[in-house]
Amino acid sequence: MNDFHADHPDLQRLIAEGQVVSYFGYGSLVNKRTLRTRFLAIRRAEITGWQRFWIPRPHPMPALLSVREQASCATQGVVVYELAEHLPLVDEREIGYLRQVVDRERVRVENPPGLDVPLFIYEGRRDTPTAEQAGGYILQSYLDAVLQGFHALYGREGVMRFVRETEGFGVALLGDRAEPRYPRSVQLEPGEADFFDALFSVTNQHIDG
């Protein structure tokens, strides 16, 4: 059980029957409003050995978040618990990423519901440059969804940590909040837009959507 989303009532039985898998979310997956499958549970978590970065995509597509192995890094996020039969749907959502098995010892989960659940992470190619190095841009509607997720779970400090520890943030920000291009865009809560915008008023060039 946690303080931000109730567990499915059959979670423990499903885990015991081997019907549950889990994956570590570090970007938009942190925001439960972007999840399209009927997940069973979600937990705050931190993974050791991966660093988050903005990964470029071929022009004109916007940059997305990814992770790559970096021994000295610890990254905040969530662990989402799903029915194993839903995993192909998650793979479809994360198309272009590699699904990797994670050693349980590398993840600290807040109040884990079970220890024998397979755990995965979706990562980009390890030799990929950051979006900043490649000259990419970020959709504001995508960033809003990500930051709202961290704000809800980790507060203002969690949002600021996300910005500090994510590589490649010095890129243009396309202002599409009024007409979102991100397909899983969210409605911001009062005060969130001002807080998020203040974080990027200096470091990011703002371009109109």
At residue 202, the 3 state secondary structure works out as coil
Domain that holds residue 70: 11-208
When pLDDT is cut at 50, 70 and 90, the band that residue 185 belongs to is: very high
pLDDT digits (tens, 9 = 90+) for 112-129: 998 789 999 998 876 666
CATH number for the domain spanning 160: value is 3.10.490.10
110: alpha, beta or left? (left if phi > 0; alpha if psi -120 to 50) = beta
CB 181 within 8 A of CB 139: yes
When pLDDT is cut at 50, 70 and 90, the band that residue 208 belongs to is: low
**pLDDT at site 131:** 65
How many C-beta atoms surround the C-beta of residue 165 within 10 A? Answer: 15
* CA 123 to mean position of chain CA atoms: 11
Is the predicted pLDDT of residue 60 greater than 80, yes or no? no
6, part of any domain: no
Indicate the number of domains in the chain: 1
Tally the residues of the chain: 209
Is the predicted pLDDT of residue 202 greater than 50, yes or no? no
Is the predicted pLDDT of residue 203 greater than 60, yes or no? no
For residues 188 and 204, give the distance between their C-alpha atoms in angstroms, rounded to a whole number: 20
Q: Cα angle vertex 112, ends 110, 116, to 5°?
A: 145
Percent of the chain with pLDDT over 90: 64
Greater confidence (61 vs 188) lies with 188
5, part of any domain: no
180, part of any domain: yes
Closest CA to 30 of 136, 184, 208: 184
**pLDDT at site 65:** 94
Q: For residue 186, how many C-alpha atoms fall within 13 Å in the half-sphere facing its CB? A: 23
